[in-house]
Every structure is written in structure tokens, then in C-alpha cells.
Amino acid sequence: MPFIKVYIHFIWSTKNRFPYLNSTESRMKVWEHIRQNAKAKGIFVDFVSGYSDHCHCLISLGGDQTIQKVMQLVKGESSFWINKNQLTTEKFEWQDEYYGVSVSESILPRVRRYIQNQEEHHRKKSYQEEFEEFILKHGFQKFHD
């Protein structure tokens, strides 16, 4: 039996960064659903939170899980669930793209706090500003906005 710990901090936004999840109540329902659905599919979500136009999710990958498959299961199913339960007034969609970076176990508590404090964090900084910082900090090339 393999022993594996690979943490990935994922971030993805709503389609065109539209603030579909504009109430705390709707966000809490979505984050809880993501957690429960992932658990049912054998995906370990360590922490999930976000704001009206994006989601942060800290996931520990299993030995047979790929990033692409995990994101397909988490994003695709949650989008379907949001629409089925009419949590938004318009058809809900996540943006196709997502970002993921590995997280060292030594900084897991800091990443968890960062994800947990998204509501407060985004009173001071927009998702666009956060996105720009993320791209620069992790050396990604930005192809478009």
C-alpha cells in the first residue's frame, strides 16, 4: 500500500468572474456540497471556501487521482448541483480554467487560514488583484484576462 501526501491548492472562478455566489448562505451551501460530494467520490478536501466569483480548495490527492479528473469531478458536478438546486437566478457556470499549486506540509496551516478568511480578504482585495499576484508569485504566464 503506498503512502502518499500531495496537497494542491486549487483556485477557479465563475464564468466571466460573474458574482453568482453573492450571498454568504449560497456560498456555504456550495462549499459544503463540494466537501460532501468529493468525500463520496474518494477525494479528500482538506479545506474549501471562496467568495462570490471564485473558489479555493485545498485537496490531498490520492495515489490513483489525477489533477484533471479531480477538477472535472469537483467543478463539473458542483456546477450541475448549483443549477439543479437553483442557487442562482441565472444559469451557473465555472470558468474552464483553474490554477493549482503544490503545498508543502510545513505551510498547510497558513494555506488553510488563507482559504478560511476569503470573506475578509476580499473586502480589501479584489479577485482580479489576487489573480494577478498568484500568476506572478507562482511564475505562470498570463495568456488572457
Contact 71, 98 (CB under 8 A): yes
> Which domains can be identified in the chain, with CATH numbers?
6-137 (3.30.70.1290)
pLDDT tens string, the chain, 145 residues long: the values are 678 889 999 999 999 999 999 999 999 999 999 999 999 999 999 999 999 999 999 999 999 999 999 999 999 999 999 999 999 989 999 999 999 999 999 999 999 999 998 877 777 777 777 777 777 777 777 555 4
**Long-range contacts of residues 111-114, Cβ cutoff 8 Å, at least 24 apart:** 111/7, 111/9, 111/47, 111/58, 112/46, 112/47, 112/58, 114/56
Residue (of 59, 69, 56) closest to 7 by Cα position: 59
CA distance 117 to 119: 6
